[in-house]
Amino acid sequence: MDGKNFSFYELQAYLTKNIGKEVAYGLKRDTNKFEKKIVPKILPETGKGGIGVGLVEVGVVAYPWHLAIWKGITETGFYIKEIILAFYALLSGLIIGKGAAVDLSGPVGIAVLTGKVARLGFVYLMQFAAVLSVNLAIVNILPFPALDGGRILFLIIEKIRGKPVNQKVESLIHNLGFTALMILVMFITYNDFVKFGSKFSNLWHSFIQ
């Protein structure tokens, strides 16, 4: 579009001004750049010029420090609830045989997503890191062998029984749990490479160049 960067309102006005005329758009998809020529027209939904693509203007909301603390607490509670519901959907789907109801990503998928979020800006990157931290905290507290939650479970069992669990039995269970976790990590990482292989390769090359 004449090599110019448009704001939300300028773009809308530009399209309205050029109804019926061919407009060239420079588009970028991942690392690929290409040009598309489109003719704007009056859209019945808005009564203004457009090309059938929704336009929104976004911004970062800032709060005073005393409100930011409370907002951070409420947002953390929201993410904890959503992550727990996602785990419930995942486990219930596996138990009843419907498969995973949510997508799982390992180190490769997280690296690809981090690269995408980083391009949005520092604030979004910090928010993504916070969500990952909450996610890892919830996973770690699950009552599964080899995790902190598994150790807490054994401590509860010891408290109920009034005597410690046999150390050899506990060690065996933790080792089996750790083995199961490693197998799961390898399986998820393999799926990540299948889904994000090319994107991860592009991200790696951008780091080493």
The average pLDDT across 33-60 equals 68
| In-domain check, residue 152 | yes
In a domain, 43, yes or no: yes
Q: Is residue 146 part of a domain?
A: yes
Extract the tokens encoding 141: 């507290």
73's tokens: 């607490």
- Contact criterion met (CB below 8 Å) for 90 and 176: no
Question: What average pLDDT does the segment 39-65 reach?
Answer: 68
- Nearest-CA neighbor of 192 among 104, 129, 86? 104
Checking if the pLDDT of 204 tops 60, the result is no
Percent of the chain with pLDDT over 90: 1
- pTM strictly above 0.85: no
Residues ≥6 apart with Cβ < 8 Å to 112: 192, 196, 199, 200, 203
Co-location of 108 and 188 in the same domain? yes
Query: Is the model more confident about 135 or about 39?
Result: 135
Q: Count structural domains, the chain.
A: 2
Over residues 47-58, the mean pLDDT reads 63
2 domain residue, yes or no: no
In the numeric block, which tokens belong to residue 159? 């408290």
Instruction: Please report whether residue 80 resides in a domain.
Output: no
Domain extent at residue 32:
8-50
pLDDT for 101: 47
In a domain, 81, yes or no: no
Span 5-23, mean pLDDT?
71
Q: For residue 28, what are the β-bridge partners?
A: 33
